[in-house]
Every structure is written in C-alpha cells, then in structure tokens.
C-alpha cells in the first residue's frame, strides 16, 4: 500500500515540494480546495486514505476533543529558519514508520517525534 499525504493549506509549500521530490504522493489543499473548513480537510483525508499533514494545532482538538475517528495526523512544529531540518525529519519519519502511522497523531519537531494513538 502506497503512502498518501494530504497537506493542509497551513503547510509551507517548500515541504510539499520536498515530499514530492522524494516521490511521496501529496495532495495539496492549496492546489485542490483552498479555503475549505477543517472538517472538510479531515473528510478529504479520510476519503483519500491519506495522512493529514498540518501545521495547524486545531487538528489536535478535532482528534482529542471532538473524538474524530479513523484519521491519521502529522503535526509539524518548527521555527521558520528550521524549514530544511523539519522537512528532513518529516521525510525520515515517513520512511522509517510508513504505513504504521495510520491511526496515529504524530508531532514532529526538529529534535523529537511523538506518536500517539488517535482512538
């Protein structure tokens, strides 16, 4: 099964390009459906069986407060000058963990990766 990623419009486009350069299948909300509400982004990720990549902490609330089920989220936290490092950390995480990230809420910083079950 190939790994699909839905990049929320909060994701810096340089990260989308870096993933595509490594041959990841990335659907970009900015390209496909700019301005759609978070709930629609979640639905799109589910419909495409994709990991939801975001820099928007609101998706943590959707998962842990509103109890959205059957979603995989990767939340990136970094400073602007760390863009290359966070891209590298993300690619390394996707390669190392791959499909096992399904059903998880993953927080990636330059120095740390935290993986939690979403159920």
Place 119 in a pLDDT band, splitting at 50, 70 and 90.
Answer: low
DSSP state letter for 28:
E
With beta carbons less than 8 A apart as the criterion, state whether 75 and 81 touch: no
Q: What's the residue count for the chain?
A: 119
Q: Which residues contact 112 (CB under 8 A, 6 or more apart)?
A: none
Q: Which residues are 106's β-sheet partners?
A: 74, 115
Q: Which residue has the tokens 């041959």?
A: 23
pLDDT number for residue 74: 96
- Whether residue 1 is predicted with pLDDT greater than 50 in this model: the reply is no
Give the tens place of pLDDT for each residue, 48-72: 999 999 999 988 888 877 788 888 9
- All domains in the chain, ordered by first residue: 4-117 (3.40.50)
Rounded-to-integer distance, Cα 111 and Cα 104, Å: 19
What Å distances lie between residue 93 and 11, 20, 24, 77, CA to CA? 17, 15, 13, 14
Please tell me the pTM assigned to this model. 0.93
């Amino acid at each position: 099964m190939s790994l699909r990623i839905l990049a929320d419009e909060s994701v810096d486009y340089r990260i989308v390009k870096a993933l595509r350069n490594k041959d990841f299948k990335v659907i970009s909300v900015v390209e496909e459906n700019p301005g759609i509400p978070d709930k629609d982004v979640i639905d799109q990720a589910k419909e495409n069986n994709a990991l939801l990549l975001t820099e928007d902490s609101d998706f943590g609330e959707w998962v842990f407060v509103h109890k959205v089920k059957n979603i995989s989220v990767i939340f990136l936290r970094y400073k602007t000058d760390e863009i290359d490092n966070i891209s590298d950390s993300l690619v390394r995480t996707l390669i190392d963990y791959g499909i096992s990230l399904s059903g998880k809420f993953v927080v990636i910083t330059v120095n740390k990766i935290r993986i939690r079950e979403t159920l």
